[in-house]
Amino acid sequence: MLLAQQIINGLMLGSVYVMVAVAFTLTIGMLNFLNFTIPALFMVAAMITWAATAAGFHWLVGASLGMVVAIIASLIIERFTYRYMKAKYGDATEHALPLVSSLGFLIIFEHVVIMIWGTDPMSFNSPFANAQFVIAGLIFAIPQLISLALSVALVFALSLLLKKTQLGRALRSIAEKPDTATLMGVDVGRIVPVVFMMTGFLCALAGILFTINYKNVSPYIGDHVATNAIAGMVIGGLGNIWGAIAGGLIIGMVEVLSIHFWGAEIIKVPVWGLMLLILVFRPTGLFGHTRIGKGKF
């Protein structure tokens, strides 16, 4: 029974990883860019949700503000990492520099937040603390169920968008052959920011749900969640949004079950050990990966 409860908890936690893993996998799949500011976007949305609520505003005010700030921040990051490098060197995807500059943004964001609110973890007074139900002795927290449902629904919607819409085709064409996409009339400079807006949205949503579910924030939560999301993404398969679901949920379960069996100190070892093991036996992740193709003419 206790184990069943842990599995449920693991899935719920994993659903937050799923959203962040999707954000990572989108930028990697589309732009071949490992965006290191993702943890900061997650954390900023979480901290703003907490800070506004602590200051007496409705939690929705904080969440909306966090969402807007994360999306704007993500667009700024696009402007100064990806686009800057592309304008300067022709093809950002062939340089490690965007990765390094995104790491710079991560550190700056974290330290700005630390300067404002300090490093101590803060507790979030959740309006849904008692929103739960019990089936056969198993506890289901409603906000957690909502995040699980949302993460699956979002991946579903995203995959429809990519498959069936004009915007989705434009995004996939940029992923495969940016020059040929331009040749078809795709304005790459206008479409790429869409990826970053999606990134900001997904990270902020994950950050807000994490805050509500786990009632704790700190300037460093983004690092923990995002590194686990990276492991989840790799396990699922780079660039594959369906893989991100599986990977995120697996990581959530491994984490919770490791705590259950071995205690909290060790959790990074099974999570990253599993990822390395999977890389050895299936370098493409469990679900292979969509082509991260780049062709030139």
Partner 1 sequence: MLLEIKDIDVRYGRNHAVKTISLNIEQGEIVTVLGANGAGKSSLLKAVQGMVRLSGGNIIFDGEDISRWSAPKRVQNGISLVPEGRQIFVSMSVEDNLLMGAYSRKEGDISAEIEAVFERFPNLKERRHMSAAVLSGGEQQMLAVGRAMLARPKIMMLDEPSLGLSPLLVKQLFELIKELNDNGLSILLVEQNTHMALQYADRGYVLELGDIVASGTPDKLLADEKLTEAYLGGG
Q: Using CB under 8 A as the criterion, which residues of the chain lie in contact with partner 1 when the complex forms?
A: 166, 169-170, 172-173, 175-177, 179-187, 290-291, 293, 295, 297
8 A C-beta contact, residue 60 and residue 67: no
Closer by beta carbon to partner 1, 43 or else 195:
195
Which amino acid belongs to residue 240? N
Among 132, 152, 176, residue whose Cα is nearest residue 297:
176
Least spacing, CB of residue 292 vs partner 1, in Å: 9
Closer by beta carbon to partner 1, 283 or else 293:
293
Q: From CA 263, how far away is CA 86, in angstroms rounded? A: 46
| Bridge partners of residue 133, in order along the sequence | 140
Neighbours of 256 (CB within 10 A): 21
Least spacing, CB of residue 286 vs partner 1, in Å: 20
Least spacing, CB of residue 188 vs partner 1, in Å: 9
Closer by beta carbon to partner 1, 181 or else 234:
181
Neighbours of 169 (CB within 10 A): 16
Closer by beta carbon to partner 1, 62 or else 243:
243
Least spacing, CB of residue 74 vs partner 1, in Å: 24
8 A C-beta contact, residue 35 and residue 102: yes
Closer by beta carbon to partner 1, 10 or else 29:
29
Least spacing, CB of residue 46 vs partner 1, in Å: 35
Least spacing, CB of residue 191 vs partner 1, in Å: 10
Q: From CA 61, how far away is CA 127, in angstroms rounded? A: 13
Burial 201-225 (b: 16+ CB within 10 A, else e): bbbbbbbbbbbbbbeebbbebbbbb
Both structure tokens of 81:
């990492």
Least spacing, CB of residue 26 vs partner 1, in Å: 15
The CA-CA-CA angle for residues 168, 172, 176, to 5°, reads 170
Closer by beta carbon to partner 1, 176 or else 223:
176
Q: How does DSSP classify residue 57? A: -
The CA-CA-CA angle for residues 201, 76, 22, to 5°, reads 30
Closer by beta carbon to partner 1, 282 or else 291:
291
